[in-house]
């Protein structure tokens, strides 16, 4: 069966520090991968999605970047965190070609607090 892992689960970082959040998927090949941010009391904002290794699409201009060094690994990074980067970060995947009819599968999330 497929599983999706995210780490760390929680993170407290000072403003201006770097960030690296990791997401890995098991049990599937060539998934489409997504990074979302959920700010407190708000919905999900799509940050990045990837349809393959090295292929990243950015949805909104921001202080973050994403990379996909391996088929089932998706990394969210920042060189210098801002206070506004605080939030709950969710990774998700879907089997390509089923996007229209099937659901995305979400990881457990990483709660990031920037102080």
Partner 1 sequence: GNSVTQMEGPVTLSEEAFLTINCTYTATGYPSLFWYVQYPGEGLQLLLKATKADDKGSNKGFEATYRKETTSFHLEKGSVQVSDSAVYFCALTTNTGGFKTIFGAGTRLFVKA
Contact positions vs partner 1 (CB under 8 A): 6, 32, 36, 42-44, 46, 49, 57, 59, 90, 92, 99-101, 103-104, 106-109
- Least Å distance between CB 102 and partner 1? 8
CA distance 21 to 79: 12
Nearer to partner 1, 83 or 100 (CB): 100
Nearest to 115 by CA among 7, 17, 8, 6: 17
Nearer to partner 1, 14 or 103 (CB): 103
CA distance 96 to 98: 5
- Least Å distance between CB 55 and partner 1? 12
- Least Å distance between CB 77 and partner 1? 20
- Least Å distance between CB 45 and partner 1? 8
112 contacts 48 by C-beta, under 8 angstroms: no
Nearer to partner 1, 14 or 43 (CB): 43
67 contacts 55 by C-beta, under 8 angstroms: no
Q: Is 59 helix (H, G, I), strand (E, B) or coil?
A: coil
């Amino acid at each position: 069966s497929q599983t999706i892992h995210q780490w760390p689960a929680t993170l407290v970082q000072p403003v201006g520090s770097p960030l690296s959040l990791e997401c890995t998927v098991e049990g599937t090949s060539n998934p489409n991968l997504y990074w979302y941010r959920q700010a407190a009391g708000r919905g999900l904002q799509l940050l990045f999605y990837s349809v393959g290794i090295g292929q990243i699409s950015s949805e909104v201009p921001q202080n973050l970047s994403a990379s996909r060094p391996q088929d089932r690994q998706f990394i969210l990074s920042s060189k210098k965190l801002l206070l506004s980067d605080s939030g709950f970060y969710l990774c998700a995947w879907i089997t390509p070609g089923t996007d229209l009819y099937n659901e995305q599968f979400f990881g457990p999330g990483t709660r990031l607090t920037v102080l």
